[in-house]
Chains A and B, each alone.
Chain A
Amino acid sequence: MITIEHLKKTFKKNKVEAVKDVTLEIRDGEIFALLGPNGAGKTTTMRMLSTLLTPTQGTILYDGKPLAEESDSIRRRIAFLTNEIRLDGQFTPDELADYYGGLYEMTPESISANRDKLFDYFGISEFRDRRYETFSTGMKQKTSLAICLLHDPDTIIFDEPTNGLDILTQHLIEAYLVKLKEQGKCIILSTHILDLVARMADRVGIIVDGRSVFCGTVPELPQSQGVSTVEEAFIKLYKENHEEKAIIGRHGKE
């Protein structure tokens, strides 16, 4: 379980407060969707969750352990994938698996077992000897996902995982995320596709202007706003909280 309390991030260089006050709770065995308009602070929050950035204030607890103190051991348990993160194009999926598996100190046997399982699922096996740079966008994303999950992480953080992918690849990835959820893993998704949220997510957190304005189950979101759809609820919350009208630390019912 991940507990985020009053998280704040101010970038020193331009003094921008990317995240002002985010408080969320993400449980094991659930798909948690992080919603918010562009520039709301979702990516910065996810970068802090993945240890890439250090919070200015606030705490992040992984199973009660503070991330700031246990970042090395926690990093072994998480996977972070965004569209910005790519793999070295000169290498084949097999070479990449060996390299990244080695960085996580996996044994050759476990690398081989996990790699075969993931490559088979994502249909990479027949292209395992081809260079990553020769792949299509979808194949690259599937390979990145497979490599990312190679070390069998407990927590998977995806920033817009199906962005720019064809419908078949989207379904394949979505189905795998559900499979991971069923294995008891914690999945955090950042997306703009509200249909995906309604279809897949168990719980949802909404960030507007760097502040968390809702954290609850998907059915609770429209209920709490007195509307019928997730989309309507999101727009209502955005309008209420945009331009410094944010209610600090407000959360929906759970």
Chain B
Amino acid sequence: MRGLGKIFHHEMQKILKEKTLLFGFLILPVLTLFVTVGISLLQPRTGQEQNSSYVMYFYGIDMEKTNIGSVDDKQIWVENIDVAPEEFIKSDKFHKCDVLVDFSDIECVEIYYHQSDSVSAYLKMSAESFVRQSFDQVYKRMNQSVVFRSVDVKDITLKESNNRMIAMLLPYMLILPLTANIANFAGDTVAGDKARGTFYQVMLSPVPPISLIMGKILSVSLISLFSSGLYIGIDVIGSKVCEALHTKDVFGFAGVSITVPQVLLILLYAVLLCYLFSNLGVLISLFCKDANQAQTAQLPVTLACTLASMMSMFRLGSSPMSHYLIPVYNICLIFQDLLNSRAKMENMVMVAVSLLVLAVLVLLTTLLSYKSEKVRT
């Protein structure tokens, strides 16, 4: 691998010095932040779009539907429900500002609310006060000399478990910018170099072909992975900003909860995927005369990969083992499994091995192609 470091360094510098490429991988993702927040600002404010009032739901106790006051010119209602709280809070009826009081266990009353929302926090305090007052009155009415055990009021802060949403979207959100970036960078660094005549100068040097190929693949991989990570990061930041602005969380990423091992494993698979795509991009670009032709030639790969990631979005439940052998689609499944905490070791190993085998085959094909006349003329 003599000269690999020099070629990698040079290619990285070349990309970083090229303003048009820099725009694609750095500026464009940042601009999406404004798009994300902009879209969300056009949406109705959360809690107002579906209900014109706030509701304090009660479960396990008979309550008549009553108006108990108002906040921000909106009525606060007390209402009884029959559905179990765990199910109700997931339904469309339970809005972000609403509060649910579960009286099913009299020793420990549970209050469900969204901590992030100020109205919800206010209603939660009202509910807690209402619960304590109710118990006091009941105790007093029964027998003032009797000492009752204190009643716990437990906060159930609803952290939006939106991993399901990010699991559904991540493959698509990663693969689309990744393939687009790779088509752009690989096209420029190989076919663009051929068109400019700079490729031959390196071919004539005593650097082994594998160093030249790997140098280009690694630089394309790193920069594309960084850019795709930036896209995802920007979307997460956008979601957080939207949440802070009390507007609609467009991508539903604000409440995502991911552990460090999950992140590391996702990153590992993303690196493998990125390497494979970059190698494919370099292989295709070797046979093209200029960057535009290379980008067009890579379009079927981009479309196929995007389609695979989109198909994974409509996946229901767990997939059969054979699906983990379909290139690209299998990595989408692994991303989803990891985020939904249902990844199986055998599937993970199978996907990693299949990706590695594919990567080695594509690399060997690239090295053979490097010697072909079409590449060298």
List residues of A whose CB falls within 8 A of some B CB: 11-13, 47, 50-54, 72-73, 75-76, 78-80, 84-91, 95, 99-100, 102-105, 147-148
Contact = CB atoms under 8 A, between A and B. Distances in A.
A16 to B, nearest CB: 11
B65 interface: no
Interface stretch (B135-143, B192-200, B240-248): B192-200
Nearest to A44: B377
Contact of B196 (A12, A78, A79, A89): A89
Interface stretch (B179-187, B203-211, B218-226): B203-211
Contacts of A99: 6, 10
A72 B206 contact: yes
Given A75-B205, A100-B201, A147-B201, 18 more contacts: A13-B374, A47-B376, A53-B373, A72-B208, A75-B204, A76-B206, A80-B204, A86-B197, A88-B14, A88-B196, A88-B198, A90-B18, A91-B13, A91-B17, A95-B13, A99-B6, A100-B205, A102-B3
Contact of A11 (B6, B13, B196, B377): B377
B258 interface: no
A76 B7 CA distance: 17
Interface in B1-53: 2-3, 6-7, 10, 13-14, 17-18
Nearest to A12: B373
Given A11-B377, A72-B206, A103-B206, A52 B200 contact: yes
A52 B3 contact: no
Given A90-B17, A99-B6, A103-B206, A84 B200 contact: yes
A52 B204 contact: yes
B377 A85 contact: no
Shortest 3 CB-CB contacts between residues of A and residues of B: A86-B197, A90-B17, A103-B205
A50 B373 contact: no
A52 B209 CA distance: 12
B202 interface: yes
A89 to B, nearest CB: 7
Contacts of B201: 85-87, 100, 147-148
Interface of B: 2-3, 6-7, 10, 13-14, 17-18, 193, 196-198, 200-208, 371, 373-374, 376-377
Contacts of B202: 103
Contact of A103 (B3, B14, B376): B3
Nearest to A99: B10
Contacts of B7: 103
Contacts of A86: 196-198, 201
A167 B200 CA distance: 27
B195 to A, nearest CB: 10
B198 A11 contact: no
B198 A87 contact: yes
Nearest to A86: B197
Nearest to B16: A90
A152 to B, nearest CB: 14
B206 A104 contact: yes
Contacts of A89: 196
Nearest to B19: A90
22 contacts: A11-B377, A52-B203, A52-B376, A53-B373, A53-B376, A54-B371, A75-B204, A84-B197, A84-B200, A85-B197, A85-B200, A87-B198, A87-B201, A88-B10, A88-B196, A99-B6, A102-B3, A103-B6, A103-B206, A103-B207, A104-B206, A105-B206
Nearest to A11: B373
Nearest to A50: B204
Contacts of A80: 200, 204
B204 A51 contact: yes
A84 B197 CA distance: 5
A78 B205 CA distance: 9
Contacts of A11: 373, 377
A39 B193 CA distance: 25
Contacts of B193: 88
A52 B201 CA distance: 10
B206 A75 contact: yes
Contacts of B17: 90-91
Contacts of A87: 198, 201
Contacts of B204: 50-52, 75, 78-80
A72 B10 CA distance: 22
A87 B7 CA distance: 14
A78 B18 CA distance: 31
Contacts of B200: 52, 80, 84-85
A102 B14 contact: no
Most chain B beta carbons < 10 A, residue from A78, A80, A103: A103
Contacts of A53: 373, 376-377
Nearest to A53: B376
Nearest to B207: A103
Nearest to B15: A90
Contacts of B208: 72
Nearest to B374: A13
A13 B193 CA distance: 22
A89 B20 CA distance: 14
Give the residue among B196, B201, B205, B377 with the most A Cβ atoms within 10 A: B201
Contacts of A51: 204
Contacts of B196: 86, 88-89
A32 to B, nearest CB: 19
Nearest to A132: B198
A86 B197 CA distance: 5
Nearest to B194: A84
